Amino acid sequence: MPAKVTAVFRDGVLKPTRKLKLQPNEKVTLEIVRQGKAAVTEDLGPLAGAFPELAALSDKDLTTAKQIWTHRLEKQVRLLPRKGPRR
């Protein structure tokens, strides 16, 4: 069964961002698809294994996501009823 795995190329070696269920010396076929300038150089710790997609996000992706999150959060806060006396 095909599996999609994100990997980081470092020191001449492709290193998967999560543990693979492969037997020792098992041969596999790889298809290399570049994901742009990604924030993979930073150590994502346990998040890399739990959410390998995070390794593929660029700084621009993260900035855009933060802007969208902030905008939507501000919109929700404006909808909340205000407590206390109105002036």
| Per-run averaged pLDDT (10 residues), the chain, 87 residues | 83 89 92 68 58 72 89 91 71
- Domain that residue 49 falls in: 7-20+29-79
Strand partners, 10: 13
Counted domains in the chain = 1
- What was the pLDDT predicted at 48? 59
b/e 5-23 (16+ beta carbons within 10 angstroms → b) = ebbeeeeeeeeebeeeeee
Q: Does 84 map to a domain?
A: no
Q: Does 86 map to a domain?
A: no
Q: Does 60 map to a domain?
A: yes
Q: Does 69 map to a domain?
A: yes
Count CB atoms within 10 A of the CB of residue 75. Answer: 9
- What was the pLDDT predicted at 55? 66
Q: Does 44 map to a domain?
A: yes
Q: Does 36 map to a domain?
A: yes
Q: Does 50 map to a domain?
A: yes
- What was the pLDDT predicted at 26? 94
- What was the pLDDT predicted at 84? 66
Q: Does 47 map to a domain?
A: yes
